[in-house]
Amino acid sequence: MLNGVPVPPERARAAQTVAAVLTPGRRIALTTHVNADGDGVGSEVALWHLLTARGLKPAIANPTPVPERFTFLLPAGADHSDRAAKEIEAADVVVVLDISELSRLGDLQRAIKQSHAVACIDHHVSQGSLPGGPRLVAPEAAATAELVFDLASALGWSICPEAARALYVGLLTDTGAFRFANTSPRALRVAGALLERGVSPESIYESVYASAPEGRVRLMTEVLQTLVVEPDVGLAWVTVPPDALQRHGATADDLDGIVEYPRSIAGVRLALLFRQIANGRVKVSFRSIGDVDVAELAHRFGGGGHARAAGASLEGSIAEAQQEVLAAARRYLRGD
C-alpha cells in the first residue's frame, strides 16, 4: 500500500506479470489508441515517468499525434510519435495502454503484430485482439490511469508529482470530471492520493477544459445545430458535417464532450454522435444513462467500450450508418 490505496490481489498479481517484461536494458515503447484521450495520454506519460525512474528508456509512440490540450503533460524528448512505427519495430517490449484491440492502433497494427513482447494495461470490456503477452486488465476500474496507479503500488514504485499529474488527468477525463457512473469510491481515493502528491486541480482544469481554441467552440455550435430528438423512445443524436473540422481548423479531439449535450436532455436515455472518418467509414459515439448498456449496442457494429460510453465504426456514408444504427437503437430502447 505504498501509494495509500490497497491494490486488489488479482491486480497485484497481474502487475507482477507486466513487471516481469519491464526489465532494465530493454527498449520499451508505450502506445495508445488513435486520437488519444486524456486517459490514454495520461496513463502512458505516467508510465514513462515510472519506468524512467527505474533506469529504463521508454518512448511514447502513438499512431496519431497527442492532442494539443494534453501536450502539457509530455516530458521533453518523451514523444516519438512522429516515428512511431520505427520505435515499435525497434522495441523489445511494447506496452499498449487504454485499448486491447489492434484495430484501434491505426498504422501501428502491423508493427505491433510482429513485436517480441506486447503487454497491455486496459479497463475496457473486451477480450482484445493484441498478440499474447502479460495483461493488467480490469473493466471495473474507472480508468486505465487507475491501473497504472495500481501497477506502481503493487511493485512498490513511488509516484513522482509529474506522474501523479498525468494519472489525475486520466481519471478526471474518463470519469467526466467525476460525474459519470464509473466514478467509484476507489477512484476518488486514488484521486485523493494523487492530490497528496501535489497535483493542482485548478491548473489541470485550466489546461484540459479552459484552454479551448475558438474553432472548437464554433465547431460545437455547428454540430449542436444538427440535434435531433425522439422523446418517445429517449433517443437523441448529432452529426458532424463532413467539412466542419477543416473549416474550423479543428481536430477530432475538439469533438470530445459534444455528445454529452444530447445526453443531458431530459428523458434522453441514449445519445449518439456521427462523423465521417477516413477510408469511407463513419465513427459513431454512444453515450447513455440508466440501464442502457451502449457497450452491448456498439458491439453489434464491431465496436465496444463501457456500459455508458462506447464507440464503433461502420463502412458507408453517414446516411447509411444512421439508418442502420438508429434502427437498432430504437429497437433496443423499445426492448424489441
Give the residue among 166, 139, 196, 126 at the shortest CA–CA distance from 8: 139
Concatenated DSSP letters for 185-253? HHHHHHHHHHHTTT--HHHHHHHHHS---HHHHHHHHHHHTT-EEETTTTEEEEE--TTHHHHTT--GG
Q: Residue 17 pLDDT > 80, yes or no?
A: yes
The answer to whether 308 and 294 have CB atoms below 8 angstroms apart is yes
Name the least confident of 124-138, 151-165, 219-233, 248-262: 124-138
Separation CA 26–CA 24 (nearest Å): 6
Q: Residue 11 pLDDT > 70, yes or no?
A: yes
Q: How far is CA 108 from the centre of its chain?
A: 17
Q: Residue 286 pLDDT > 90, yes or no?
A: yes
The answer to whether 308 and 288 have CB atoms below 8 angstroms apart is yes
C-alpha angle 113/77/44, rounded to 5°? Answer: 50
Concatenated DSSP letters for 250-319? --GGGGTTTTHHHHTSTT--EEEEEEEETTTEEEEEEEE-TT--HHHHHHTTT-EE-SSEEEEEEES-HH
The mean predicted confidence, pLDDT, of the chain is 94
Instruction: Specify the 3-state DSSP secondary structure of 122.
Output: strand
| Count of CA atoms in the C-beta half-sphere (13 A) of 222 | 19
Cell 441514449 sits at which residue?
A: 270
Separation CA 147–CA 221 (nearest Å): 36
Predicted confidence at residue 306, as pLDDT, reads 84
DSSP summary character for residue 104: G
CATH topology of domain 9-208: inorganic pyrophosphatase (n-terminal core) (3.90.1640)
Residues 303-333: pLDDT tens digits? 888 889 999 999 999 999 999 999 999 999 9
Instruction: Specify the 3-state DSSP secondary structure of 157.
Output: coil
Residues 209-241: pLDDT tens digits? 999 899 999 999 999 999 999 999 999 999 999
Please provide the size of the chain in residues.
Answer: 336
Predicted confidence at residue 268, as pLDDT, reads 98
Q: Residue 15 pLDDT > 80, yes or no?
A: yes
Q: Residue 203 pLDDT > 90, yes or no?
A: yes
Rounded to the nearest 5°, which phi and psi values hold at 284? -120, 125
Burial class (CB in 10 A: 0-12, 13-18, 19+), 3: buried
Give the residue among 49, 144, 187, 30 at the shortest CA–CA distance from 94: 30
Residues 67-114: pLDDT tens digits? 999 999 999 999 999 999 999 999 999 999 999 888 889 899 999 998
Predicted confidence at residue 47, as pLDDT, reads 98
The CATH classification of domain 216-334, taken from the options 3.10.310.30, 3.40.50.2300, 3.40.50.300, 3.40.50.1000: 3.10.310.30
Give the domain ranges of the chain: 9-208, 216-334
